[in-house]
Structure 1
């Protein structure tokens, strides 16, 4: 189903849409709008990943290490990124010292969460460091979930670097590696596979490679059916469908996908907020600016940190440019809270 094509016309979309796929959590630039708290969090993760002097982590049992990572995952899904950074900074030295296969799989999760957190905090340069270390540990562990997550992180970073061809092709090659092993794999492996396919679909859409984009989304949906109790099962694929439709310039289809799911059933605050920021971008593309603002306000109520990210801030900027007479209720106050210049 998934094929690599060498061509692809440059995507040409309206200039007011620059974030490409807010539903997928993708931004194009880093650093803008970072608060003092998030900057400090980034610095802690940077120093943990690249210590000034050789360091080792405390000795933890496998059970204690796994429980700590489970808590970190919960903080991530609750969109508590700045607070999470402190816990991850303490776990990174433990991950660095891991050698047992089970500990290596857990260590790979530490790097995965660190990479995603650094992406959320608009710190892609350090996320590359974490992703590289995470891929090495994931392959050493042999764990399918870990490998899928590590490769997805790299695909996300290539996408953020606007190297969409590499992001798509990396997804395709990883699918070829993992797909034969999935029938006997646990639900967690299916979950990471579905997340990888969703991310690859956005990159393919950016290349106007519609066939691969839609094929990857079909693979993600299949993965969701094999992982009914994971985050992937509710809301994840739907938000990426929104993102792909936006990139392909079809705002109406994006809204139709949004209507396929009850947002209150999305189990994590991070993904639920992404659902609403995706709707906001679709409505902006469609010209329904009042609805876009309402969606952003809902997202802010759910997870304020999500609205302060690069992509949603760009949508707010686009809305401000369209609202020359200040008629969109709540937009200016939202812009101030999000650090967007008026």
Structure 2
């Protein structure tokens, strides 16, 4: 056991204990309300066991009557400079989405061709997990795209709505990842608005995916998240043909599978459907829509299977699936980082902390801004600091703990 002193650390179990004490609630009462055992509550509060599943975290928040961020740390908490840099842009992004192009300044927007290329750059930047660069790009591009929707030419209006849908999607996903769920929902509404103007199946699928992701991040909303993804997939199934439509429709099935796993439901059907869609990508035509989800493909289906297995705490299954993917075949840094995070979580569940640390360090190397902001990474690293041998805690693990904000630098 490490001699790491947890007095200065913040972990979810400690917050649970603090809130429970303020409520005057016993461990047994909390256990009964959350559907857990009193022994499990004690281990969570003492830091002997990490809270590493979405279902447990949401059950505890609901039982205590608090928000998720009251237990995990506020999303604006500054654990690395990228958080502050991205947060500085939130006000402008919010205003841009609210204004719908009715900006107070009269500057002319860039030509549609330049905006389209800027939108593609936004997608590449998000997938690279470079939130410092991404933040300042979003609000101007949203405003300029909206401005073009008021043009006289019908073709130009469609092109502008097309660009806006793409930018709003990347905005929604980035906001959700960084903890701004309510604003991510507003961005999802902008995607849907654009899709209605263009009658774009890919846009409708992307909007539903973004909404389901936001719902999945909220306690008590997992069933709604599943219903959103599944109903949209059923509705859009008959109109899917182009590559972008296949990608965004396929992601609805992956989202349904992950959400179903979090709810303890069967997921094989959704994964089988996603795998079949992925096999159709090579023969699909590009289509007129800019809306894409380039992370979707055979490798990503396996990766989401790994994430679903972790939701069920099936560490062995995660490690069985991992060799089916060559990490270098996962082009998007955000997804490649997630691959190593899932491996790290699985090894930690087996108490193989050395391999877990190795995987988390690889994940951080691929996507440092993304990985350092993950609640379950911080929770896991803190647990390892309390549980691992001293030779780990004083080396790479200790330095990682500082970088993710588990202990003060």
Which range, TM-score by smaller chain? 0.7 to 0.9
The unaligned stretches of length 5 or more in structure 1 are 1-9, 22-27
Cα distance, 1:131–1:326 mapped onto 2, change above 3 Å? farther
State the shift of 1:196 in Å: 1.9
Tell me which structure has the larger Cα radius of gyration: 2
Map 1:79-98 → 2, pairs under 5 A: 79-98=129-148
Other-structure match for 1:338:
404
Q: After superposition, what is the alpha-carbon deviation per residue over 1:280-319, rounded to whole angstroms, capped at 9, x for unaligned? A: 1122222222111111100111111121122322222232
* Mapped contact 1:41–1:83 kept (Cα < 8 A): no
Is 1:198 aligned to residue 254 of structure 2?
Answer: yes
State the shift of 1:170 in Å: 0.8
Q: After superposition, what is the alpha-carbon deviation per residue over 1:113-143, rounded to whole angstroms, capped at 9, x for unaligned? A: 1111112222222212212222222233211
Other-structure match for 1:165:
223
Other-structure match for 2:160:
103
Q: TM-score under structure 1 normalisation?
A: 0.86
For 1:58 and 1:121, the matched residues in 2 are separated by 31
Count of aligned pairs between the two proteins = 323
- More displaced 10-residue stretch of structure 1: 223-232 or 104-113: 223-232
Residue of 57, 62, 67 corresponding to 2:117: 67
Other-structure match for 2:236:
178
- More displaced 10-residue stretch of structure 1: 265-274 or 95-104: 95-104
State the SS of the aligned residue for 2:215. helix
- More displaced 10-residue stretch of structure 1: 37-46 or 163-172: 37-46
The unaligned stretches of length 5 or more in structure 2 are 1-33, 45-49, 56-67, 70-74, 150-156, 285-293
* Mapped contact 2:188–2:207 kept (Cα < 8 A): yes
Is 1:275 aligned to residue 344 of structure 2?
Answer: no
Residue of 318, 341, 348 corresponding to 1:284: 348
State the shift of 1:249 in Å: 1.9
State the SS of the aligned residue for 2:392. coil
Other-structure match for 2:94:
46
Other-structure match for 1:7:
none
- More displaced 10-residue stretch of structure 1: 189-198 or 213-222: 213-222
* Mapped contact 2:261–2:311 kept (Cα < 8 A): yes
Q: TM-score under structure 2 normalisation?
A: 0.73
Cα distance, 1:98–1:279 mapped onto 2, change above 3 Å? farther
Residue of 305, 308, 312 corresponding to 1:241: 305
Q: After superposition, what is the alpha-carbon deviation per residue over 1:40-72, rounded to whole angstroms, capped at 9, x for unaligned? A: 133442343346994177434332221111111
Cα distance, 1:318–1:219 mapped onto 2, change above 3 Å? farther
Is 1:217 aligned to residue 267 of structure 2?
Answer: no
